[in-house]
Structure 1
């Protein structure tokens, strides 16, 4: 699949939106900017070096208060720009103990 072939339409921002990437284990965080985004992924512009970090999976914080975020998987690297796919929680997946909705 080439970079332009996407299933979901993307929203491209006139000015990239500031965001933060956080390691799944919480041991690192880096500032970035969101160039475009869709329901299934995004293109991010790195603001600092990512050398030596595990970028296989990480969280992308979408709001300043941190309440909206997505778990991401690295898809491609092109200089200071990376493509990510959002990792969806499957319907019916079991949640961690203590996080279950009470009925």
Structure 2
């Protein structure tokens, strides 16, 4: 068995928790079972192939109405199981405004 790499405590669901994965733009959707979850990520068993899907960023829908969801990014793939990291509101890389070098503060 591989050593545990995840940080933080997690909740393991005995029978799994039914959920769906959906692309940010709504072009694809897959049923999945959430095997475990922590504050920072989850392990999912995906129904059907994930080949060809853009898993860089997607939604994990936790309710049938889509009102409970988490924005995710792919962490790892092992057969039909994937690990995801949860993204927070400010996680996208922000462009940092840089002052040109050699610029005087009094200019």
Calculate the TM-score normalised by the size of structure 1. Answer: 0.81
- CA RMSD for the aligned pairs? 1.7
How far is the alpha carbon of 1:3 from its aligned partner?
6.0
Higher Cα Rg, which structure: 2
In structure 2, the partner of 1:75 is 75
Q: In the alignment, is residue 56 of structure 1 matched against residue 42 of structure 2? A: no
- Partner Cα distance (1:30, 1:58) in 2: 11
Structure 1 segments (4+ residues) deviating >6 Å: none
- Partner Cα distance (1:75, 1:3) in 2: 16
Deviations 1:10-48 (A, max 9, x none): 100000111100001111101111000011100000111
In structure 2, the partner of 1:39 is 39
Closer/same/farther in 2, CA of residues 67 and 60 from structure 1, 3 Å limit: same
- Structure 1, unpaired ranges of 5+: 91-103
- Partner Cα distance (1:33, 1:47) in 2: 8
After superposition, residues 16-27 of structure 1 pair within 5 angstroms as 16-27=16-27
Calculate the TM-score normalised by the size of structure 2. Answer: 0.78
- Partner Cα distance (1:56, 1:44) in 2: 15
- Structure 2, unpaired ranges of 5+: 91-107
In structure 1, the partner of 2:94 is none
